[in-house]
Amino acid sequence: MKSNILSALVLMVLPLLPIHAQKVDDYGVFNHLGVGLSAGSQGISIDAAAPLTKYLELNFGVNFMPGFTLGGDAKLNINTSGIPAYIPIPDNLNEVRIDGDLARTTLDFRANVYPFGGNTSFFLSAGFSFGGKKLAKLTGSNEAIAQQPILREFVSANIDKYNLQFDEDGNVNGDIRVKAFRPYLGLGFGRMTPGRRLGFRLEAGCQFMGKMKIYQNGEEVDTNDFGEKGDDKISDIIDAFQVYPVIKLTLTGRIL
C-alpha cells in the first residue's frame, strides 16, 4: 500500500517538471535562507530552510493543526446479565456521542534532495516529524449513567475495539496516542529557497505514525471483540491512518 501511494504521487508531480524549472546555479553551503507559509493536511505550517548545495536543502518547520472536532455515535457495550434485577435499565441507555478534538502542534526536520540540481525544482524529501503522543482528545457523556452512576460498572463505550469507561457523572474521557517520533517520506516541486524572491512549492508524502491506541487516565484501554461499530469517524481514523497522508501548498520567500 505504501509503495502504491508513493507511485501515485510520482505520477502526479512528474508532469509539472518541464514547466516550472528554476535556475539555482548559485546555491552553496548556507549562503541563502528561505521561509515558507503553508496550508495542508498538517494544518498551518511555518518553515525555514537553507541549502547545502544545489542538490541538498535542510528544512525545519512547525505545524499548527487548528482545533476541529470529529465524532459520531459510538456503540455501548452493555453487560445486561450483570445488572441487578432491582436496577431499571433506562430507555436512553443506548448510544453515546464521542467527539475527538484534533488540535495539536508538531515539528518537522527534513532533508530535501534535488536530484537534477539546478535544472529543475523536483525534490525527494526524507526526515521525521516530532510532537506530543496525544493525537486527539476524546470526550462524551450519557445522561442515563449520570442519573444512575451504578450503571457505569456494566457499561462501556466502544471505539474501534477499545472499551472506554464512564465516570460517576456519566462522562467518558480519553485520548488517541501515536508515536512521538514519526518518520516521513515525500516528494514535490519547488524550493524553500527559491531562485527568485518569491515562489510556490507543492509537496506530498507519507508520515508513518504507527498504530493508534486509546488511553484513559494515562493507561492503554483494554480491547475486545465487541464487533458492531457505531457511526463514528474516530473508529475510521484509528483503522485507516497508520500512514498519514501529507499534502502541503507553500508560499516561499528567499530572505538571503
CA separation for the pair 131, 3 (Å, rounded): 25
Confidence of residue 13 (pLDDT cuts 50, 70, 90): very low
Average pLDDT of span 210-226: 82
The pLDDT score that the predictor gives to residue 225 is: 59
Structural contact between residues 191 and 25, judged by C-beta atoms closer than 8 angstroms: no
- Arithmetic mean of pLDDT over the chain: 83
What would the pLDDT profile of 220-246 be if each residue is shown by its tens digit?
A: 887 775 555 666 778 777 777 788 899
What would the pLDDT profile of 118-130 be if each residue is shown by its tens digit?
A: 767 899 999 999 8
Per-residue pLDDT at 148 exceeds 70: yes
What would the pLDDT profile of 198-210 be if each residue is shown by its tens digit?
A: 999 999 999 998 8
Per-residue pLDDT at 214 exceeds 70: yes
Q: Which residues contact 152 (CB under 8 A, 6 or more apart)?
A: 145, 165, 166, 167, 168, 170
Q: Which residues contact 127 (CB under 8 A, 6 or more apart)?
A: 59, 108, 109, 110, 111, 183, 184
State the CATH number of the domain containing residue 204. 2.40.160
Structural domain span for residue 184: 2-254
Global pTM value: 0.76
Total count of domains within the chain:
1
What would the pLDDT profile of 79-114 be if each residue is shown by its tens digit?
A: 888 888 888 878 778 778 889 888 889 999 999 999
